[in-house]
Amino acid sequence: MKVKVHIILLLTVALLCGCNNASKPGKANFQVSYQPLLDGILYPSLILGYNNYTGNDQFDFFQARLTPHVDNAVMRIVIDSSAINYETEILETLGKRGTEVSFAINPKWKYNVLRNLRQPGMIDLTFSCYLNDERVGVRNLHLSYRSVNECLLSVRDTSGNHTDFKWMFCAYVNEDHPEIDSLLSEMLDQGIVRRFTGYQTKANTPQQQVKAIWYYALNRGITYSSITCTANPSKRSNTQHIRFFDEVYRYRQANCVDACVFFASIMRKIGLKPVIFVEPCHAYLGYYTDKKRKNIALLETTLTGWVNLPELERSIDSTGFIAEKQWNKISKYLTEKQRQDYLDGKTDIETVKHQVADALFSKASNYDVDAYNSNKKYFQDPANNQYRELDIEKLRQLVQPIQ
């Protein structure tokens, strides 16, 4: 009889030990992975762009998987706080034990921090998993992150297929930037237009309103700067450095995309409908000249770097005339009569500046016409990711400005 009791006791202890082993830490095989397309690199601009993105092609940045060893376990995953995210907790009730489950997990990001990241760096993110309040796994991901100015354009997966992200250009267009209102006031003082009306009046054409923006950019002295390359180590990602609106304004430098972003931000503010045309190694701007979007005009924004009007003003010598070196730079944009009138003292430097700006605006409006007509079929082909027609108004329904 005593032998039977001892056997029962031993069996009971064995069963209890077996149950305890089922939920010991590590038994759930808890794993966390980062989006494989991104090659271990975190892009603040992409996180901010996806923050208000409503397209069907969204993807999650992190994926977790585990195999519960108890039925109906309450799972809790905790993402520790870091320099770029707050502590985040995910709760879920799981189903049958022994069945692997996977799901997306995303940290609560510190958006203000991400918006101001201007240098690349490294970050460690720690994920802890609990089943019924017992920790069953801890995983750490060591990632590199890029500057918020680095825009992801496309990614090639292991099969050679490309995922296109050029819609991200639209996230850099910011018609809500607080500095634009003061700029518009300065533009009105130029005298080219009395008010900005978008498409509301026939007398104040969209072209005239764009010309006022153009003249302001020339007067601001925005020069061409072809900073596009980054130190991104990924061989699968195609990225480009893009300056924000306030950076173009403050530093007076822009490449083709930067200038498109700058002009498009102001155009959106005054009610015009801009389009960014992306070709291999170049981008230029378009805008609809009518509310019904039947006609489009083009603008090669990089031509703002062909002259520097502030430098022109500073070159005026003691006689009150433009210095010879500067005169030789800008006189080629004037007609023979305009040149002679200035030399005869019939026109002043303000008139010359407007004449030069008008001539360059005409050139900029015709600069890309042949390329646009030749490549129109590529812009309309959704399978060709080398060419993109980025209609900012349409894309605004998918993505908001990076704030």
26-59: per-residue pLDDT in tens? 579 999 999 999 999 999 999 998 887 777 777 7
Among the listed residues 35, 276, 40, 59, the one whose alpha carbon sits nearest the alpha carbon of residue 146: 40
Question: CA torsion angle for 333, 337, 339, 341 (degrees, to 10)?
Answer: -140
- Percent of residues, the chain, with pLDDT higher than 90: 76
Half-sphere exposure of 225 (CA within 13 A, CB side): 14
User: How does DSSP classify residue 347?
Assistant: S
Residue 235 CA to residue 41 CA, distance in Å, equals 12
Residue 182, H or E segment: helix 180-189
Residue 318 has a pLDDT of 81
Span 285-305, average pLDDT: 96
The least confident of 32-36, 157-161, 337-341 is: 157-161
User: How does DSSP classify residue 23?
Assistant: T
Residue 253, H or E segment: strand 253-254
Residue 150 CA to residue 242 CA, distance in Å, equals 6
Q: Tell me: pLDDT of 2 over 70.
A: no
Residue 287 has a pLDDT of 98
Mean pLDDT taken over the chain: 89
Cβ atoms within 10 A of the Cβ of 347, count? Answer: 17
Domains in the chain, start-ordered, CATH in brackets?
24-145 (2.60.40), 166-395 (no CATH)
Angle at 17 between CA 16 and CA 20, to 5 degrees: 90
Predicted confidence band of residue 142 (pLDDT cuts 50, 70, 90): very high
- Percent of residues, the chain, with pLDDT higher than 70: 92
Residue 340 CA to residue 347 CA, distance in Å, equals 9
287-293 long-range Cβ contacts below 8 angstroms, 24+ apart: 287/206, 287/210, 288/206, 289/205, 289/206, 289/207, 290/199, 290/206, 291/199
136-142 long-range Cβ contacts below 8 angstroms, 24+ apart: 136/23, 136/24, 136/25, 136/26, 136/27, 136/28, 136/30, 136/66, 137/25, 137/26, 137/28, 137/29, 137/30, 137/31, 137/66, 138/30, 139/30, 139/31, 139/32, 141/32, 141/34, 141/62
What are the C-alpha distances in Å from 174 to residues 46, 97, 116, 118, 346? 16, 50, 16, 18, 42
Predicted confidence band of residue 12 (pLDDT cuts 50, 70, 90): very low
- In DSSP terms, which residues pair with 388 in a beta bridge? 278
Predicted confidence band of residue 322 (pLDDT cuts 50, 70, 90): very high
Three-class SS state of 259? helix
Which carries the bigger pLDDT value, residue 248 or residue 318? Answer: 248
181-229: per-residue pLDDT in tens? 999 999 999 999 999 999 998 889 999 999 999 999 999 999 988 765 5
Residue type, 81: S
Residue 382 has a pLDDT of 85
Residue 227 has a pLDDT of 62
73-108: per-residue pLDDT in tens? 999 999 999 999 999 999 999 999 999 999 999 999
Taking every pair of Cα atoms in the chain, the longest distance, rounded to a whole number of angstroms, is: 129
Classify residue 397 as exposed, middle or buried by CB count within 10 Å of its CB (0-12, 13-18, 19+). Answer: exposed
Span 19-26, average pLDDT: 43
Residue 52 has a pLDDT of 76
223-277: per-residue pLDDT in tens? 988 765 566 777 888 899 999 999 999 999 999 999 999 999 999 999 999 999 9
Span 125-152, average pLDDT: 96
Residue 33 CA to residue 66 CA, distance in Å, equals 12
